Amino acid sequence: MPSPLDNHTPAEIDPATGHPRREFKARGSFVERCEGCNLPVLNCLCPYKVTAESEAQVWLLTHRIEHYKPTNTGRLIGDVLAQTEVFTWHRTEPDARLLALLADERFAPFVVFPDDQPDYADRVVSIDAVTQAKASGKTPVYILIDGTWRQARRIFRKSPYLDALPVLPLRTERETRYRLRKPASKAHLCTAEVAAELLRQGGDVDAADVLDDYFDAFNASYAASRKYHKIKTPTDAMQRLLARQPTQ
């Protein structure tokens, strides 16, 4: 019979006590997560995953730390819109694939960013530019910078390949519904909300509706799991997503 200690390599024994060293656990890591959606299994998101079609595309320029945060909402966009591209931002070495896509004439990329600084005022466009791009046969692309506010500013300022692109600020009265991180202001939307709102304003209403519902399902599932609460009756958003599932 192997003793319980056989599971531990010598490196895991605390030399001070001779006992197995306790693993360091990050906050929340005691929760068992689903391999499919990375949410706590208590309220897994997988049953609600549905795809939608959109004319416009979303490309995410993601700060590397953001990839590891289970509360990240940028990843929800790729679940819904299959054409979504995700690039990890590196200050010194831009992603070669991103550079190639930016040079591709089929796309009309817009970098989504507030127009609160005067030095790039000449690059600022409205959502009408997205409609015009569609009319000219191009695929509009919303480039979303996914990170904290500080990280986003840095990425916007330190990425020369973004300097030539039109800047599209999101104009909306919508307030955030995100419950997993405390926003500095209700006007600060999370990444999935920004994408949904841009899609809606740019005419991709169906994709916007699905992404909004999927974000709501994520939000409700995660918030409930944090309180060890099992959602028994699907929310309205969840029910709309279930109704979209292809019948077996």
Binding residues for Zn ion, rule: CB under 5 A, are 34, 36-37, 44, 46
| Cβ-based nearer residue to Zn ion, 38 or 83 | 38
Nearer to Zn ion, 129 or 223 (CB): 223
State in angstroms the smallest separation of the CB of 221 from Zn ion: 9
Q: What distance in Å separates the CA atoms of residue 37 and residue 47, rounded to the nearest whole number?
A: 10
Q: Which is nearer to Zn ion, 6 or 32 (CB)?
A: 32
Compute the least distance from the CB of residue 38 to Zn ion, in Å.
Answer: 7
**Looking at the DSSP assignment, which residues form a beta bridge with residue 60?**
86, 144
Closer to Zn ion by CB, 28 or 36: give it.
36
Output the six-digit token pair for 61: 């320029």
Q: How far apart are CA 144 and CA 75, in angstroms?
A: 12
Sorted by sequence, the CB contacts under 8 Å of residue 31 that are 6+ apart come out as: 40, 42, 225
The string over 63-90, giving b where at least 16 C-beta atoms fall within 10 Å of a residue's C-beta and e elsewhere, is beebeeeebbbbbbbebbbeebbbbebe
Q: Smallest distance from the beta carbon of 44 to Zn ion, in angstroms?
A: 3
- Identify whether the C-beta of residue 184 lies closer than 8 Å to the C-beta of residue 125: no
Which residue, 37 or 194, is less far from Zn ion as judged by CB? Answer: 37
- 236-244 vs 205-226: helix crossing angle, rounded to 10: 130
In angstroms, the CA 146 to CA 148 distance is 7
163 three-class SS: coil
To the nearest whole angstrom, how small is the minimum distance from the Cβ of residue 31 to Zn ion?
13
Locus of tokens 């895991």: 12
70/169 with CB nearer Zn ion = 70
Give me the least distance between CB of 236 and Zn ion, in Å please. 20
Least distance in angstroms from the C-beta of 57 to Zn ion: 25
Least CB distance to Zn ion at residue 181 (A): 21
C-beta of 32 vs 116, nearer to Zn ion: 32
Half-sphere exposure at residue 193, Cβ-oriented, CA atoms within 13 angstroms = 19
> Nearest-CA neighbor of 109 among 133, 82, 78, 85?
133
